[in-house]
Every structure is written in C-alpha cells, then in structure tokens.
C-alpha cells in the first residue's frame, strides 16, 4: 500500500515521497537538497533513518550504549558514531556540529512517579532533556526536533520541564511548539503516540505544519506480518493474518537493567492474545510447517513474534539489522522511534527551513 506525502516548498513547487509502511526501502531519499544534522541519544537509528530519508545526513551521532552504536555502524558504516554520554559531549571538540540544519534527539522515555510531586522520570532522563536544550546554546542549529512520550507534552506533571525548555529556547531566539502524533497515522501498523517538540530560529515556526496524516486505511498486524509468518512454510499463516485485522498495541522495549524480552505490560499482552499472539516472550524463529496454531489451547499454541517482526511493526525496513543477542536486539526495537514518523517530521521541518 503506497501513499504519497506532499510538501509545499517556498518556490511554490511540490515535493513527493513514496512511503510503504513496514516495507519501505531504507535507502529512499528526499528529492530535495541534502541537509546536515546532529543526532543525540540515537539508539538503534529509527529517528536518524527517517530523517535521512527526508534529506538530513547526520554529521555525528551520539549514544551511550555499545550495542546501539554497533547497530548504527552495522547499517551505516559511513556515519560518524560516537559511543559516549551526552552529558560529557563537548561540541568544541567536534567543530562539524556548528554548521548544521537540525539537532535531533530521540531521548529515553521519562516516566512520572506515583506521587507526582515533581516532573520526573529518572534524574538521568531529565538531565538528558536539559542537556539537549543546553546544547542548543553551543550548536544553534536551524531547527530542533525532540521525540519522547506524549505525557511530556500533555501532563501537568511535566509543566516545569516545558517551562524550562521554553525559557531557554526563547533566550536563544527560538520559537517552539509541542504536539502529539500517533505513528499509526503515518503508515506504521501500531498504535504508538509520540510527544514531539520542534523549534526554529526567526519566524520559521510560522511556516511549520504538523505532518499530514496518511488517509489510507491503517496497516494491520496481519497484513504487515503475513509474509514473514509464512517464511518457513507455516500453512496457517494466512488464516492467522486474516484474524489479526487490527493495528498492534504499543511495543514496549522494557528496562535495560532487568527481565527478558516481551511485548509489554499486562494490558498489551492481553491485546496480543486477542490476535492469537503470545506477548509474554519473543521468538527466535517464525513458526515452521508443523506448528499448529490453536490459541484456545493456551500460550504454547499461540504464535510468537520475532525481533525482526517487531521491527516491521515499528516501521523499520527489512534490511535494517540489529546488533546483539535477542533481548538486546528487542530492547533496541521497542525503544526506537518509528522511521516513517521521523521521515514525515523531517519533511515538514525541511519545508519550514525552506520557507521564504
């Protein structure tokens, strides 16, 4: 299923870019001019990949996880990937970051405490948000893009963080906007809401519009995964896919510190069970020809998704590879930003930067 994302540029022309949800090519590119970006907390590269497809080439990417950096280098050997803590990054040592169009960040998810006494995830997560904004003082790019949880945009708990961001950006001459997108509206077969912050110098914020939604019917789990489910000759793949006729619940990467790979909390697992999927684990392989799918018989008779299938549900192309063992690979996928959303945001940001 192909859709067309159109973006008006200041010359009055129209750019078009093909998207195909989980089946897109990882090398597709915007037809417009190439721009330069700096990506912090890059993770498995979902946001950077989407931005690359929208015309932004990273001059440098930062992440503190060795396995994520390995994934980035595995897929893009030409990218300049630095394994380091953002809090220790000194732009003076990397002069190429001073001449960029965009600073982008897919920051670790902040979470509110039950007490709600302060705008809080862990202190580390909040420090990363502040570090990204303070990096603007040194880099001063044409635009800023930050992606995180929708609560960061909508909840009163995080009002102090939004206030800090607003004050710092205004001091630097940037105008900003917070909003929430759902990846399901951009060709991703998943109900995944994302909080977004964009900022621009001068008056370009007035030229920025939120990416237009894909008006095509959403891609269902069955449609996204039927072909992969049948790769080892499983004869019930089509039957399973026909009843998996809804989008996926939000994939959750889980904690890097404990536990194995699963598809999320209890509510998410229940949603998967309704599609005949065991959400309590992640498989090494798709079903073979002898597997008998009978979800009424319990977990052992349900299908289990592989890391590669989870990546398809995040909108990654089939040729994007993930480094590490199974749990580490799934953590990278579940915590990633869907590339199609990054591409849509990149095209919208590019249009605003082009504005006359």
Q: What is the pLDDT along the chain (356 residues), one digit of tens a residue?
A: 333 322 332 333 333 333 334 444 455 556 667 999 999 999 999 999 999 999 999 999 999 999 999 999 999 999 999 999 998 999 999 999 998 999 999 988 776 543 344 444 457 778 888 999 999 999 999 999 999 989 999 999 999 999 999 999 999 999 999 999 999 999 999 999 999 999 999 889 999 999 999 989 999 999 999 999 999 999 999 999 999 999 999 998 877 776 678 898 999 999 999 999 999 999 999 999 999 999 999 999 999 999 999 999 999 999 999 999 999 999 999 999 999 999 999 999 999 999 85
Structural domain count of the chain? 2
Report the chain's C-alpha Rg in angstroms: 20
- Domain range holding 327? 221-333
Question: In this structure, how many other beta carbons lie within 10 angstroms of the beta carbon of residue 138?
Answer: 12
- Cα 310 to Cα 261: distance, rounded to the nearest angstrom: 11
Give this prediction's pTM.
0.89
- Pairing mode, strands 143-148 and 193-201: antiparallel
Smallest CA-to-CA distance from 251 within 187, 315, 300, 295 is with: 315
CATH number of the domain that 33 lies in?
3.40.50.150
Do 328 and 348 fall into the same domain? no
Do 56 and 27 fall into the same domain? yes
Do 126 and 81 fall into the same domain? yes
Do 8 and 112 fall into the same domain? yes
Do 174 and 70 fall into the same domain? yes
Smallest CA-to-CA distance from 302 within 231, 228, 236, 245 is with: 236
Tell me if residue 51 falls in helix, strand or coil.
helix
Do 234 and 196 fall into the same domain? no
């Amino acid at each position: 299923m192909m859709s067309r994302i159109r973006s008006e540029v200041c010359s009055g022309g129209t750019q078009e870019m093909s998207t195909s949800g989980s089946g897109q090519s990882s090398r597709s590119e915007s037809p417009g001019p190439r721009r330069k970006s700096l990506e912090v907390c890059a993770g498995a590269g979902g946001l950077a990949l989407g931005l690359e497809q929208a015309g932004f080439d990273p001059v440098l990417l930062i992440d503190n996880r060795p396995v994520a950096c390995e994934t980035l280098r595995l897929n893009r050997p030409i990218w300049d990937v630095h394994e380091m803590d953002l809090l220790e990054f000194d732009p003076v040592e990397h002069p190429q970051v001073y001449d960029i169009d965009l600073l982008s960040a897919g920051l670790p998810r902040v979470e509110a405490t039950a007490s709600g006494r302060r705008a809080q995830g862990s202190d580390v997560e909040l420090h990363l948000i502040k570090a990204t904004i303070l990096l603007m003082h040194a880099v001063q790019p044409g635009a800023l893009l930050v992606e995180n949880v929708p609560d960061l945009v909508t909840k009163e708990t995080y009002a102090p963080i939004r206030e800090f961001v607003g004050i710092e950006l205004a001091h630097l001459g940037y105008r900003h906007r917070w909003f929430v997108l759902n990846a399901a509206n951009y060709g991703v077969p998943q109900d995944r809401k994302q909080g977004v912050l964009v900022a621009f110098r001068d008056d370009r914020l007035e030229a920025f519009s939120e990416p237009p939604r894909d008006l095509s019917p959403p891609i269902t789990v069955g449609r996204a995964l039927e072909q992969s489910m049948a790769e080892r000759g499983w004869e019930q793949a089509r039957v399973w896919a026909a009843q998996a006729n809804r989008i996926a619940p939000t994939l959750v990467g889980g904690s890097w510190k404990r536990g194995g790979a699963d598809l999320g909390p209890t509510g998410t697992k229940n949603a998967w069970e309704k599609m005949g999927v065991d959400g309590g684990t992640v498989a090494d392989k798709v079903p073979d020809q002898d597997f008998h799918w009978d979800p009424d018989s319990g977990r052992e008779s349900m299908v289990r998704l592989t890391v590669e299938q989870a990546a398809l549900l995040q909108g990654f192309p089939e040729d994007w590879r993930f480094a590490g063992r199974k749990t580490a690979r799934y953590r990278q996928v579940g915590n990633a930003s869907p590339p199609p959303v990054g591409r849509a945001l990149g095209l919208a940001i590019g249009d605003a930067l082009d504005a006359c």
